Amino acid sequence: MTSLEEQYKKKGYVIIKNVFDGNEIDKIRSYIHKTFDLQNNSNLRMVYGSEIIKDQMLFSFFFRKKILNSLRILFGDDFEYIPDFIIQINSFGQKEKKYKPGWHVDSASEGSAKYFLKKDYKFAKMGIYLQDNSKEYGGGINLTPGGHRIYLKFLPIRIVFFIKKLKDKLNIIFNNHFIKSKSGDIIIFDSRLPHASSLPKIDNQFIVQNKTEINKIDGLGNNSKFVFYCNVCSSKDSPDFMKHSSKRSLKEKSPFFDYSKQKYPDDYDKGFVKFIEDNKIKIAKI
């Protein structure tokens, strides 16, 4: 087992350093600024997949050789991308009413699914960070190393997940790690791992725009936060997730779920499909 694979198994995440260099990052940051006219469109918080897959400058970022090679090491040759591509702009997590603002596991909506207990379950979020993570401005994530693990699997399933939730709460308090990622790094983390956006702080105070909503923080200027996200997984673990997303899309009306209504490759832009085929990449199907 390689050390990358070992770290992913043990800690539930890996950082791949320097996937993009400074020039590429500067270029894509100004491209996003220009393309989405952020000057006049300062409320834009998400760019959804339907727009991303039409623009090779944007979508090709997800499929950099170094990323594909890392995914091959972590998930084996047979891995897939979930096409839930998104670009977040100055987005800093969830509402403050929660027990710990912003902290969550990405797998939460899937509930106490049995497939989370599989020994070789491999499903992760991949984030491409276009800025350093800093104490002043945030820009990356905090997470709980090892927090993806599920113990005592022989117990009734409800109890197993009750214990996991309890463990998540303790981890958030006692095992909260600020990840020092740099601009151009990517982080791949297990969907069961508790994490949160690192929040900007000035004079040691969190910047919160209003008390109940910390989703979006403006005014960070050149330190604006841009992150590309999508899910990646071992091919055997995509069908359960895609079924779940498809059901969720019927209840939750958000452009985020468009990907679970569109069939790959039929409903996709030809340029995107050609790129995917040329690079021998697999996209999860419904």
Does residue 270 sit in helix, strand or coil? helix
Nearer to Fe ion, 195 or 276 (CB): 195
Candidates 73-81, 105-113, 129-137, 175-183 — which segment interacts with Fe ion by CB under 5 A?
A: 105-113
If you search the block for the tokens 């940051």, which residue do you land on?
A: 29
Determine if 168 is a binding residue for Fe ion (CB under 5 A): no
Nearer to Fe ion, 8 or 268 (CB): 8
What is the spatial distance between Cα 143 and Cα 192, in angstroms, rounded to a whole number? Answer: 11
**Least distance (Å) from Fe ion to the CB of residue 31?**
25
Nearer to Fe ion, 41 or 109 (CB): 109
User: What's the Cα-to-Cα distance from 58 to each of 39, 54, 98, rounded to whole Å?
Assistant: 19, 8, 33
Nearer to Fe ion, 42 or 94 (CB): 94
Let me know: does 206 contact 200? Beta carbons within 8 Å.
yes
If you search the block for the tokens 């995440």, which residue do you land on?
A: 13
**Least distance (Å) from Fe ion to the CB of residue 282?**
23
Determine if 110 is a binding residue for Fe ion (CB under 5 A): no
Query: Site map for Fe ion, 119-158, x if CB under 5 A?
Result: ----------------------------------------
How many residues bind Fe ion (CB under 5 A)? The answer is: 1
Contacts of 45 (CB under 8 A, 6+ apart): 88, 89, 90, 91, 215, 216
Contacts of 98 (CB under 8 A, 6+ apart): 104
Candidates 24-32, 91-99, 103-111, 239-247 — which segment interacts with Fe ion by CB under 5 A?
A: 103-111
**Least distance (Å) from Fe ion to the CB of residue 81?**
17
What is the spatial distance between Cα 212 and Cα 29, in angstroms, rounded to a whole number? Answer: 29
Nearer to Fe ion, 33 or 177 (CB): 177
Nearer to Fe ion, 233 or 276 (CB): 233
What is the spatial distance between Cα 179 and Cα 195, in angstroms, rounded to a whole number? Answer: 10
Determine if 106 is a binding residue for Fe ion (CB under 5 A): yes
Candidates 81-89, 104-112, 209-217, 271-279 — which segment interacts with Fe ion by CB under 5 A?
A: 104-112
**Burial tier of 158 (Cβ tally within 10 Å: 0-12, 13-18, 19+):** exposed
Residues that bind Fe ion (CB under 5 A): 106
